Amino acid sequence: MLKLNVGCASRPLEGYVNIDMDTTEDLKKRYPHLDIPDIPIYQYDIFDLPYKDGEVDEIRADAFIEHLSFKEEPKFFYEVARVLKPGGLFRWCVPDFEDAVKLWLEAKDDWKDFYRDDDEAVKSQHWFGTYTYNTDNRWGYLMAMLFGSQNGEGQYHRNAYTEGKVRAMMSKLGFEVTKLERFKWKEDRDLMIDIEAKKI
């Protein structure tokens, strides 16, 4: 089984070809508080993967696709469709943009402080002076839900997804959605849309 984990970041998986813009060493430097396994991470071009048409059994892309620009988005999805076998699985999750917007509209407008990403700020969950991951303030962690953490190259959200968009995209690309659920990222953060789709 040939399985890819695209945009793996600090979450490389055994049994997968892990692909990211960063190396394992880069990720260990950026996230010294995380226990990142010593699994190889390849810096392949995600818009031109080194695989033949219909060669791949499974592709994962967890909390990654929202970082692609409007122009990059179709390139990536068409490349996924190209390399997956008929019957191959595409498992991916993205923040539920509709949920984030609802939270934003319901939250209080109470700005506290400018953004910081120094070690002390990260350790104390500074998030614009709110010191929490909760979403009761528009100018706290909600900003990262909408725009990304912005604490390194590639850590920007540049796209948005809703259930309706996900289903329409999969249909356009010739995929059948076999599972669509929701879960909280890291159990207490963004509501994620979790998708499993089979290439028809």
Q: For residue range 154-172, what is the model confidence (pLDDT) as tens digits?
A: 889 999 999 999 999 999 9
**Cα separation of 28 and 102, whole Å?**
35
Specify the pLDDT at position 59: 98
134 pLDDT tier (thresholds 50, 70, 90): very high
| Parallel/antiparallel/unpaired status of strands 56-62 and 84-95 | parallel
SS (H, E, C) the chain: CCEEEECCCCCCCCCCEEECCCCHHHHHHHCCCCCCCCCCEECCCCCCCCCCCCCEEEEEEECCHHHCCCCHHHHHHHHHHHHEEEEEEEEEEEEEHHHHHHHHHHCECCCCCCCCCCHHHHHCCCHHHCCCCCCCECCCHHHHHHHCCCCCCCCCCCCCECHHHHHHHHHHCCEEEEEEEEEEHHHCCCEEEEEEEEEC
Query: Once rounded to an integer, what is the mean pLDDT over residues 90-98?
Result: 98
Which residue, 54, 55, 76, is CA-closest to 64? 76
152 pLDDT tier (thresholds 50, 70, 90): confident
- Say whether pLDDT at 30 is over 90: no
Which residue, 27, 20, 12, is CA-closest to 42? 20
Specify the pLDDT at position 129: 97
Q: What is the mean pLDDT of the chain?
A: 96
**Cα separation of 1 and 77, whole Å?**
21
- Say whether pLDDT at 147 is over 90: yes
135 burial level (CB within 10 Å; 0-12, 13-18, 19+):
buried
Which residue, 70, 84, 58, is CA-closest to 4? 58
Kindly report which listed range (86-90, 119-123, 180-184) carries the lowest average pLDDT score.
Answer: 119-123
Specify the pLDDT at position 102: 98
**Cα separation of 157 and 163, whole Å?**
17
CB 115 within 8 A of CB 129: no
- Say whether pLDDT at 122 is over 90: no
* Domains of the chain with bracketed CATH: 3-96+161-199 (3.40.50.150), 99-147 (no CATH)
Query: Once rounded to an integer, what is the mean pLDDT over residues 65-78?
Result: 98
Specify the pLDDT at position 142: 97
Residues listed for the chain: 200
Query: Once rounded to an integer, what is the mean pLDDT over residues 127-148?
Result: 96
29 pLDDT tier (thresholds 50, 70, 90): confident
- Say whether pLDDT at 199 is over 90: yes
